[in-house]
Structure 1
């Protein structure tokens, strides 16, 4: 099955490649989880952290900053003590999530199959080792 996609950029064009530029942000360990959790609506930092579970506060802060910088979510700070901060998907974030939804669904449907393949995998011998 051939998928009709534009050609992926050559390594000499890495800094100009839109595929690498976008996937560098959303292809990390946490971004998809943050975005999918925000699909339910506006959430506070602690609510996102609780929903994900095993992410550190530092990593969540860094992920939220990156997603905000790239325009996928917005951050609203309320001048209260302690400060109240809420995060919401932007239209760009919502459009990305719509495209990612089939991938997330695929992951749920095929997780056991992937785990079986990992368990059955036997790495080839190292080069030169016979």
Structure 2
């Protein structure tokens, strides 16, 4: 960012100079913020993906539980793996929520949980 541009831009939370130019900029910033939207997939697609990921997660949890028995309670790996399994079991039981946004968030959490289980199993198999 060049010096002249930096001098003109206020820091976050700092007001711009008063006058028409300042108000125009504020309105332009508001319009830009309202224009930006997050595109979510259709609700039916989100629900289908949730069901699909839950179908993957159940067997992954079983495999992870078999691997965690190879460690002794008290070992760092045992605690870490148990925490990941507990989280995965929670994700498996949780519903989609009340609407599209909550279902999309649940889908993302579920996907991260499946990803963690895959990493845990592949890490154990590679070790």
TM-score (norm 2): 0.22
Higher strand share: 1
Compare CA radii of gyration and give the structure with the larger one: 2
If asked which structure has higher relative contact order (CA below 8 Å, sep 6+), I would say: 2
TM-score (norm 1): 0.22
